[in-house]
Amino acid sequence: MIEIKEIFSKKEMKEFVTFPFELYKNNKYWVPPLIQEELESFDKTKNPVFKTADTHFYLAYKNNKIVGRVVAIINWDEVNILGKKKVRFGWFDVIDDIEVTKALLDKVIAFGKEHQLENIEGPMGFSNLDKVGCLIDGFEEKSLMITWYNFPYYATHFEQLGYTKEKVYLESKFPFSNIDATNFQRIGDMIEKRYELSHLNFTKTKDIMPYVDKMFELFNSSYASLESFVPINDIQIEYFKKKYISFINPEYIKFIMDKNDKMVAFSIVMPDFADALQKAKGKLFPFGFYHLLQARKKSKTAVFYLIGVLPEYQSKGITAIIFNENHKTFTKLGIQTCMRTPELEDNHAVHNLWKHFNPVYHKKRCTFIKEL
């Protein structure tokens, strides 16, 4: 018999977070989160996303053993601002038993119907800066720190239960040697002069902080045209600023400014922390912090996390400046491989940025949707 239980206590929350450690034990492609960081992101007193989102956390039990988990989410900004009457599901993990999947998702559906919503979609997080998508291709590729891994049967379960593919995301990689430095330097220099722009590089995190609000403002502007985009509000910006910016290598953050000191483009790159997180096994102590610090200093893989360009500059070659500055940094650090995080398949403007590097698309994921 399958029992679905809504959870509240600290003990249950820890069981929720650690269930995948058992499910993916000995799987060399799954990358574990840091347990404490995951718990803090689910803490309604610490994560401001809960000011605009309602959530329920569920665990599935069979024979008194945990066999699945899910978070039911209503992002009220998405419902009220975009008019999308949708309940989300995220942090979904389950054994290969379709009845467990159905029982968990039925709880999410009931939550959506309770609020007169029209469909259910997932897996996806609270906001656009969270993990997204069920892996449907690339199961023998190691996950990234900012993506979910899952077994092939997840998609099979969804489809058998009447869910259909909604948004498709692509991930790619290419060798650093594919970047033509001479070409980007020539074009970057020309674009800077033509539009009276300047680039900012950093060596200290404290020097980045005065620009972070401008960066998130630009982020909201540059992605506003995407149908599924929900703007990041001021409270969330403060949270992300404190939690993440100090964790990113300052030399991996690039800003492009106009002559009036207005930010027109930015780029955030991160070292690949996947191997370090696997070694850490969910814990910072006693050795996890050391592994992460080593990856921060010595990783030879750069992960492109976010690129944003103001709409009025998106067809003017601004990214040549960004790639030129990143090339200088990557050369100094001995980067060998460049990877891209999930990007919407229909975001053709972004895909056009990368075509010069001959990327290999090695992973595909999607969200699944169903009418309530």
The residue among 144 and 225 whose pLDDT is bigger is: 144
235 band by pLDDT with thresholds 50, 70 and 90: confident
Q: Is 354's pLDDT higher than 90? A: no
205 band by pLDDT with thresholds 50, 70 and 90: very high
* Across 346-359, average pLDDT: 84
What whole-number distance in Å separates Cα of residue 203 and Cα of residue 250? 5
* Across 139-145, average pLDDT: 97
pLDDT at res. 181: 80
Given phi > 0 = left and psi -120 to 50 = alpha, else beta, which region is 317?
Answer: left
251 band by pLDDT with thresholds 50, 70 and 90: very high
343 band by pLDDT with thresholds 50, 70 and 90: very high
Cα angle: 209, vertex 211, 213; to 5 degrees: 95
Q: Rg for the chain (alpha carbons), in Å?
A: 21
Cα angle: 271, vertex 207, 301; to 5 degrees: 10
The β-bridge relationship of strands 86-94 and 343-344 is unpaired
Mean pLDDT of the chain, nearest integer: 94
> How many other CB atoms sit within 10 Å of the CB of residue 9?
8
Q: Is 227's pLDDT higher than 80? A: no
Phi, psi of 145 (to 5 degrees): -60, -30
What whole-number distance in Å separates Cα of residue 326 and Cα of residue 291? 24
What distance lies between CA 343 and its chain's CA centroid? Answer: 10
> How many other CB atoms sit within 10 Å of the CB of residue 267?
22
- Write out the two tokens for 208: 């980045």
**Domain 2-169, CATH 3.40.1360.10 — does that match?**
no
| Burial (Cβ within 10 Å: 0-12, 13-18, ≥19) of residue 158 | buried
* Across 70-98, average pLDDT: 96
Long-range contacts of 217-220 (CB under 8 A, 24+ apart): 217/263, 218/263, 218/264, 218/265, 218/266, 218/308, 218/310, 219/266, 219/306, 219/308
245 band by pLDDT with thresholds 50, 70 and 90: confident
Q: Say if CB 357 and CB 335 are below 8 A apart.
A: no
Q: Say if CB 299 and CB 249 are below 8 A apart.
A: no
Residue of 331, 325, 312, 321 whose CA lies nearest to 353: 321
Q: In this structure, which topology does domain 174-364 adopt according to CATH? A: Aminopeptidase (3.40.630)
pLDDT at res. 233: 86
Q: Say if CB 128 and CB 229 are below 8 A apart.
A: yes
Out of 117-126, 135-144, 177-186, least confident range: 177-186
> How many other CB atoms sit within 10 Å of the CB of residue 223?
20
Q: Provide the 3-class DSSP secondary structure of residue 248.
A: coil
pLDDT at res. 214: 94
Cα angle: 1, vertex 38, 18; to 5 degrees: 35
Quick check: do 2-169 and 174-364 share a fold? yes
The β-bridge relationship of strands 164-175 and 360-371 is antiparallel
pLDDT at res. 175: 95
Residue of 240, 303, 243 whose CA lies nearest to 270: 303
Residue 250, preceding peptide bond in cis (omega within 30° of 0): no
Residue extents of the structural domains in the chain: 2-169, 174-364
- Write out the two tokens for 274: 């996947």
What whole-number distance in Å separates Cα of residue 17 and Cα of residue 37? 10
Q: Is 126's pLDDT higher than 90? A: yes
What whole-number distance in Å separates Cα of residue 232 and Cα of residue 217? 8
What whole-number distance in Å separates Cα of residue 271 and Cα of residue 249? 8
Q: Is 226's pLDDT higher than 90? A: no
